[in-house]
Structure 1
Amino acid sequence: MKKTPLMILLSAAGISLSPFVLADGGKPDAPLTATANVKADKAEKAEKAIHAMLDQWHNDAARADRAYFDKLTENAVFIGTDPDERWTRAEFIKWSEPFFQRGKAWTFHVRQRHLKPDFSGKWAWFDEQLDTDLGLCQASGVVVLTAKGWKIDHYQLSISVKNELIEPLKKLTAELPAAKKTP
């Protein structure tokens, strides 16, 4: 008895696993249906909107535009490069104030970015490689679709270190105090 792949059965039943991509990342064997075309268009628009929001977020920081903080959800968390840098949105705004007051916060230029949307189309993971004031950094985060568009819910920034530099770096950081413990 010939086994029919699950994707074909779901497709025949009119069930889509993702508005962004096929679950297996492959291309369909058959032409896209009208519904699939609409979903693909919606997915493409969402991806463009996410990229545009993230690019503008970085531009806002470079110009010390307070619209930067509007791109964070109310419950957003920002994790910086220092072991003690884990901020809620409110804490991050307070910490950032001196940078924004001087008229230039920080400058991040995106080398590359990857998006991975969830199946519902309401949130996505991303990672990006950045040229920054700190040197080469990498970041990852989660964006969510809100009534006001895409917003950052979680962002984690880290400084990139080549593997061959890990041992000397470990010696430099061995004396650092432990990060603050959370209650």
Structure 2
Amino acid sequence: MKKVIYFLVLGVLFLNCESKKEVPKTVDSNIEKTAINTVLNTWHKSAAEANFETYFNAMTAESIFIGTDASENWKNAAFKEFSKPYFDKGKAWSFTSVERNIYIYKNGEIAWFDELLETQMGICRGSGVLIKNDDIWKIEHYVLSLTIPNDNMDAVKLINKEKDSLLLKKLEK
């Protein structure tokens, strides 16, 4: 009798576990990509218009912004502090996406992208990760990079040689 009860309990537990499996979420990638494009376009526009609150509300509280300088690896609070004087002057920076690729993870809650940007520095590349929380996409991680034509790489290496050397020495300590 104990064996019968034991198997009944195991059967009930198994059925209970099976019934609680989550139904896979269906993700409409076109809708999500439209929402992500809106977030990124508004984010870039808010910098050009010096709208500090809108700009930083597009980012998570834990977000990271990596700038073009090797020393620029900003956590959100530090990036806000660095950026505030630029926004206070009425125009922070102006980035316009001229090409963007968006990729959405199958659960529909994580996306990553790359974009070519027209900027005051020339053409740059941005890439990043967004997360969706409570149906709202926010930027979690962003990397801004200068684009360097391969034919110009030797000249750029010469320009950067001294500063790169100093930074490497600092990081080795």
Indicate the structure (1 or 2) with the bigger Cα radius of gyration: 2
Q: In structure 1, what is the equivalent of residue 73 of structure 2?
A: 86
| 1:150 lines up with 2:137 in the alignment | yes
| 1:121 lines up with 2:105 in the alignment | no
Q: Distance in 1 between matches of 2:82 and 2:38?
A: 25
Q: In structure 2, what is the equivalent of residue 48 of structure 1?
A: 34
Structure 1 runs (4+) deviating above 6 angstroms are none
Match of 2:89 among 74, 90, 102: 102
The TM-score with structure 1 as length reference comes to: 0.75
Output aligned runs, 1:157-176, within 5 Å.
157-176=144-163
Residue identity opposite 2:130 in structure 1: V
Q: Is the helix fraction higher in 1 or 2?
A: 2
Q: Distance in 2 between matches of 1:139 and 1:182?
A: 28
Structure 2 alignment gaps of length 5 or more: 1-22
Q: Distance in 2 between matches of 1:175 and 1:44?
A: 47
Q: In structure 1, what is the equivalent of residue 13 of structure 2?
A: none
> Secondary structure of the residue that 1:121 maps to in structure 2?
coil
Give the drift of 1:45.
1.2
Mean CA deviation greater in 147-156 or 157-166: 147-156
> Secondary structure of the residue that 1:46 maps to in structure 2?
helix
Q: Distance in 1 between matches of 2:138 and 2:98?
A: 21
Residue identity opposite 1:167 in structure 2: D
Structure 1 alignment gaps of length 5 or more: 1-14, 20-38
Q: Give deviations 1:28-61, integer Å, cap 9, x for gaps.
A: xxxxxxxxxxx4xx32111100001100000000
Q: In structure 2, what is the equivalent of residue 36 of structure 1?
A: none
Residue identity opposite 2:133 in structure 1: T
Q: In structure 2, what is the equivalent of residue 64 of structure 1?
A: 50
Call closer, same or farther: CA 1:72–1:181 in 2, change over 3 Å: farther
Q: Distance in 2 between matches of 1:119 and 1:148?
A: 15
Give the drift of 1:182.
9.8
Give the drift of 1:93.
0.3
Residue identity opposite 2:132 in structure 1: L
Q: Distance in 1 between matches of 2:44 and 2:65?
A: 14
| 1:137 lines up with 2:124 in the alignment | yes
Residue identity opposite 1:109 in structure 2: T
